[in-house]
Amino acid sequence: MAAEMPAPDRASPDSPAATPPEPWWKPWACFILLLVAVQVTLGHKIALSQWTLTADNAAVAEGLAWVHGRLDLHEPAADGPDPEKRRHDTAYVDGRVYNVFPPMMAFWTALLHPLHHTLLGMPEGLWLQTTYLAVVFCPLPVVGFIAFRRQTRDSAWAALLTLAWLGGTAVLPNLAEARFGYLGQINHVVSQVGLLILAADLLGRQRIWPGLIGLAIATYTRQMTFLYGLPLLYVAWRRGRVRLIGCLVGLVAVASPLLTLNYLKFGNPLDFGYREIYVGRPADDDMAVRCREYGTFSPRCIPHNFRAMHLTLPLVETDFPFVKVGPPGLDGVSMWLTTPLALWAILAARWWWRDPSRRIVMCGTLPVMVGLLCYHSPGFMQSGYSRFALDFLPLWLLVVAPFTRGGWRSWFTLGCVAWSLLYFNLLLQDIPLQVKTHGPV
């Protein structure tokens, strides 16, 4: 067995260890100021008072179906393959309708329903509402602030980066749409917590079990993120036999529920049912055509998806004194333009490459990025931004966090944060939120 992984080089002036310890009150003060800043700058977009969740949500419906002893969604109106008669992006298989989204919200519903509805006698709608914000939104600022503070050792800077992550990335439009109970957007939001927990463990004490918890949260909301088990497994191998065995057991435990559900619903552990959501779709549905011709994943999708995620420009219109930001299409806009903080992954490459832990995390995002580029869809409901970038962007931001301040770097970071906050505020101001009728979310 290889020797334990060497500790990161802490002699660099860019290292968090070079920062003097803070007084006990500063983290609390900065966190409170973060909450105030979120409310002031993002509150009118997130609109927490408007958040609603009902059994129309496919994963909630699936969880309730489990409670009643069935796997398919009971939809009497969906007797045929017409997708207009089914919940959004559900699979039609042998006359039955199934949820194809990752099962985190289904697990949450099935676990809490007996407690709230059966034992406490709360109506379904009421207990869904009372726990929705606590499960989906509330962990975000807490986990984000703790994760960034551990990397920067500066509470004020951690609060700034947390605000930039919440309001200057695709997290913000997904939060804005999650208030309507849109399952795809809920999954993106929840996955961020899991990804930060995973990355924080890999960049920190590397105890593996916190990373497995983060991996489970991310995988049960965004299946592609299970590929982060590769860097986790590598770190466990370098840390010794006990951690390696524990990591292998943990990975099996994370994957087993997903594979079992796939087998029970679609007859194949590796079939997530995405092909079946296109049953009954019209012949001119671009994503349905790509899925039928190329398959769910194909290298032939890389050029289209690469342009959507990295190269596409937004439309900017001026009508003095107003500025409008609009989408050139539904496939997204370059993440480098919407979130220029991502440029630190390039600008700080020589610094993070010298740190073995950071190098492993950054290299670990490559399989996920390749998987996203091969997917038959570049994403949907992402007018003006690239929401699939959320599957790796929070890890990038956490890796480069210690290198974003000091001299010119602080000013560059502040400029990037200001740009992103302005962009996403303008974007959400001018693009109405609406339910799409086709395409995997």
Identify whether 353 is part of a domain: yes
347 within a domain of the structure (yes/no)? yes
Q: Which domain holds residue 217?
A: 27-430
Average pLDDT, the chain: 86
> Residue 12 falls within a domain, yes or no?
no
* Per-residue pLDDT tens digits for 91-117: 888 888 899 999 999 999 888 877 766
Residue 178 lies in a domain: yes
Kindly state whether residue 7 falls inside one of the protein's structural domains: no
Flag whether 14 is in a domain.
Answer: no
pLDDT at 439: 38
Q: What is the pLDDT of residues 269-324, one digit of tens each?
A: 998 988 888 887 776 777 888 888 888 899 999 999 999 899 988 776 666 555 56
Report how many domains make up the chain. Answer: 1
What is the C-alpha to C-alpha distance for residues 253 and 268, in angstroms, rounded to an integer? 18
pLDDT by residue (tens digit) across 168-219? 999 999 999 998 889 999 999 999 999 999 999 999 999 999 999 999 999 9
Mean pLDDT of 381-409: 93
Q: Please state which of the ranges 122-136, 156-170, 350-364 shows the lowest mean pLDDT.
A: 122-136
Report yes or no on 140 lying in a domain: yes
Section 5-15 average pLDDT: 44
Asked if the structure places residue 437 within a domain, the reply is: no
DSSP designation for 386: -
Q: Is the pLDDT of residue 436 over 50?
A: no
Pinpoint the alpha helices (H) of 137-282.
Answer: 139-152, 155-167, 171-178, 183-203, 209-219, 229-239, 241-266
> How sure is the predictor about 13, in pLDDT bands with cuts at 50, 70 and 90?
very low
| Segments in 240-312 forming alpha helices (H) | 241-266, 286-294, 302-306
**What percent of the chain shows pLDDT beyond 70?**
84
Structure tokens belonging to residue 394: 């929070």
| Residue 198 Cα distances to 9, 90, 170, 210, 423, angstroms | 21, 30, 20, 7, 29
